[in-house]
Amino acid sequence: MRFALIGNPNVGKSTIFNQLTGLGVEINRYPGTAVALEKGNVCYKNEKFEIIDLPGIYSLDGSSDEEALVRTFLEEREAGALIAVLDATRLERNLYLLLQVAEYRMPMFVVVNKIDEAERSGLSIDTRRLSELLGVEVIAVAAREGRNIDRIVPAALGAARPPDVQTPYDHHIEAALTSLEKTLSTPRHRNLLALQGGSLDPLLRDSAESIAREIEQRHRMSVHQIIATNRHNFSRQLAAEVVAISERKTSFDLDRLLTRTMPGIPILCAILVFMLLSVFLIGSWLERAIVAGFTTALIGPFNALGLPPLPAQIGGSLLIALQAGFGIAFPFVFIFYLALSFLEDTGYLTRAAFLADRAMHRLGLHGEAIIPMVIGFGCTVPAIMSIRILKTRREKTIAAFLITMIPCSARTVVIAGIVAAFVGLLWAFSIYLIIFVLIIVSAILLSRITPGEQFGMIVEMTPLRRPQPALVLTKAWIRIKEFLFIAMPVLIVTSIALGLLQYSGIIDALQGMVAPLTMSLLGLPPYASTALLFGIFRKELAFETLAVLGGTADLGSIMSAVQLYTFAVISVLFIPCVSTIAVLYRNLGARITVLASVYSVSLGIFIGALINLLMK
């Protein structure tokens, strides 16, 4: 038997889910969407049950991926019982979704979570009365303390039943529902959706559309607005019956500091810089350790085996891929997600989005995009993975293009290792300058040409709270597993393919073919093209390969300053690494991936040629 947790974002569904299941969670993605479903198991009386944590949503009537997914989930009755989670401190708003869920008439019961917080702020909730009003079992829970968590599974097994509660709608809506039900014999919840234009059934959609138009003309309001208003009013009535406010305790509100321009923006900058620096420092230290460990423990002994050339090539490529994958996954993806989950769990992220909205707006994005952009300085891969927090495809597309251009820490290694070391520190900074100008120009360009309307930010500010280490760790762990799952196969296949190409001499032939181009257009030695090609595993590899092919670590002795500078600029801008391509594909599909890759390659070559032309 399966149970599903359903509720608004930030009601503590994940906490309950973790309390019930512990580790051993598996992530399922629905095809064609970026929405993740978490599944876990719970044992009760020697029986195993599956629990699904549905994505947090505010409504069932919207068109977002999350809402559509939950709707399908309910429509197909994929769970034996629904566990509707409500936030005791925001009961009225939470009841709005519950009333929508109730329309589906599935066996369910209600968990009123955060009862401890409600008590602390002077609210008391009459769960017995709520249970009478809704017609289902209601359990008061404090998931963080673990209070009453043990009552959830027994309730799911024994007490779940279809609710009695029914929202009284405006009489025109009720009449429309009855007439649709009579003529097409479709259930009420589907008719409600159809009246709001969200039905997939053409017959129902057409009949509902004409009725809806009539109602809209009479009310001078969209049907969606009428229905929403009815539900909110009914939620208010319900809440008024069960919530009692004894005393409003006002404690110091941190938001007085966090959401003001002063000192909010300096705090935001400090947090972002701290996050970036810690990932930079810890991440690159860990990465060096992992890369070195791989080299001494696996690659060295493997090379010493003295295998015949073909197996040696394949094995070597495999090891390089593993090295690149782990070298990104643990140091960067994991640490970033650790930091991000931490910030997310404290509720600070929504404040950051609010403050950054204006700046991001100039780039054709919204406040929420600040997170992926900042993460991009550490590693492009988790940055691309986190663009799913953006709402519209337009924003996701713009953000994806920009993020692939942001100099990640690996590119910083290239800039530091080649330009700062052999050309000069100021020249190294000038590369950053070039890139930032290009990013801003691209952003302005992209916000003009990317299709789709720009919507403003509408974000619920999650309450500030102390993060839970276990939850933060689980979230980070889930992300890293996802990354390894997505990127590893791609890395391995590409690496072996490239190894075989090299083995068969095609790479050398290719290098010879593009040599005139490399030399005349970019002014670089022929082997630079191969070095750039290897940069697609890890950007640092471009730098390392250059040293290997050049036969010396002292790059200054084999290439001129202009050549080194050009090489660095190209490899920084050049095609995103394979892992990035893999997550891009996963999150945005083939078209955007190809476009973003082609764009960065041509931009890299163009700027490289320009530099060569100007400075030669």
Partner 1 sequence: MIIDPSLREDFLEAILNLARDGRRPPTIHDIAAALKKTEGEIQSVLTVLAEKGDAVLAGDGGVTLTPQGKELAMRVVKKHETLQCFFSEMLGMDIPSASNEACLLEHAVSDETISRLGTYMQSPPHRRRGGQGEGGEIVRPLPALTDFNEGDDLIVSRILGKERANRLLDLGVVPGERVRIKRKLANNALVVQVKGCDVALSPEVAASICVEREQ
Sign, CA dihedral 308-319-24-66, equals negative
Count of alpha carbons within 13 angstroms of residue 575, beta-carbon side = 19
Does 453 bind partner 1 (CB under 8 A)? Our answer is: yes
- Cα→Cα distances 460→234, 463, 475, Å: 22, 9, 21
Closest CB to partner 1 among 257 and 441?
257
Q: What is the dihedral of CA 50, 56, 59, 64, to 10 degrees?
A: -100
Does 219 bind partner 1 (CB under 8 A)? Our answer is: no
Spell out where 71-150 has E strands.
81-87, 108-113, 123-125, 138-140
Does 129 bind partner 1 (CB under 8 A)? Our answer is: no
Does 481 bind partner 1 (CB under 8 A)? Our answer is: no
Least distance from partner 1 to the Cβ atom of residue 139, Å: 22
φ, ψ dihedrals at 580, nearest 5°: -65, -45
Least distance from partner 1 to the Cβ atom of residue 380, Å: 27
Q: Which residues ranging from 95 to 114 are in contact with partner 1 (CB under 8 A)?
A: 96
Closest CB to partner 1 among 454 and 468?
454
d(CA 410, CA 433): 17
Does 58 bind partner 1 (CB under 8 A)? Our answer is: yes
Question: Which range touches partner 1 (CB under 8 A), out of 43-51, 170-178, 220-228, 326-334?
Answer: 220-228
Does 80 bind partner 1 (CB under 8 A)? Our answer is: no
Question: Which range touches partner 1 (CB under 8 A), out of 42-50, 142-150, 360-368, 588-596?
Answer: 360-368
Does 460 bind partner 1 (CB under 8 A)? Our answer is: yes
Closest CB to partner 1 among 55 and 378?
55
- Cα→Cα distances 352→368, 401, 417, 456, 600, Å: 8, 22, 33, 15, 29
Closest CB to partner 1 among 62 and 293?
62
Contact 341, 476 (CB under 8 A): yes
Does 228 bind partner 1 (CB under 8 A)? Our answer is: yes
Closest CB to partner 1 among 366 and 479?
366
Does 124 bind partner 1 (CB under 8 A)? Our answer is: no
Q: Count residues binding partner 1 (CB under 8 A).
A: 39
Residue from 33, 41, 127, 222 in contact with partner 1 (CB under 8 A): 222
Does 388 bind partner 1 (CB under 8 A)? Our answer is: no
Query: How buried is residue 466: exposed, middle or buried, by Cβ count under 10 Å (0-12/13-18/19+)?
Result: exposed
Does 119 bind partner 1 (CB under 8 A)? Our answer is: no
Residue from 34, 290, 298, 457 in contact with partner 1 (CB under 8 A): 457
Closest CB to partner 1 among 43 and 257?
257
Omega within 30 of 0 (cis) for the link into 263? yes
Least distance from partner 1 to the Cβ atom of residue 459, Å: 5
d(CA 225, CA 71): 19
Which of 224, 109, 118, 85 shows the shortest CA–CA distance to 163? Answer: 109
Query: Quick one: DSSP state of residue 168?
Result: P
Question: Which range touches partner 1 (CB under 8 A), out of 43-51, 61-69, 321-329, 546-554?
Answer: 61-69
Does 117 bind partner 1 (CB under 8 A)? Our answer is: no
φ, ψ dihedrals at 44, nearest 5°: -145, 125
Tell me the β-bridge partners of 409.
Answer: none
Residue from 29, 41, 50, 59 in contact with partner 1 (CB under 8 A): 59
d(CA 587, CA 593): 9
| Count of beta carbons in the 10 Å neighbourhood of residue 59 | 16
Which of 506, 514, 518, 614 shows the shortest CA–CA distance to 570? Answer: 518
Does 260 bind partner 1 (CB under 8 A)? Our answer is: yes
d(CA 521, CA 609): 6
Question: Which range touches partner 1 (CB under 8 A), out of 353-361, 382-390, 407-415, 586-594?
Answer: 353-361
Closest CB to partner 1 among 92 and 181?
92
| Count of beta carbons in the 10 Å neighbourhood of residue 553 | 12
Residues that bind partner 1 (CB under 8 A): 58-59, 61-63, 89-90, 92-93, 96, 220-222, 224-225, 228-229, 232, 255, 259-261, 350, 353-355, 357-358, 361, 366-367, 453, 455-461
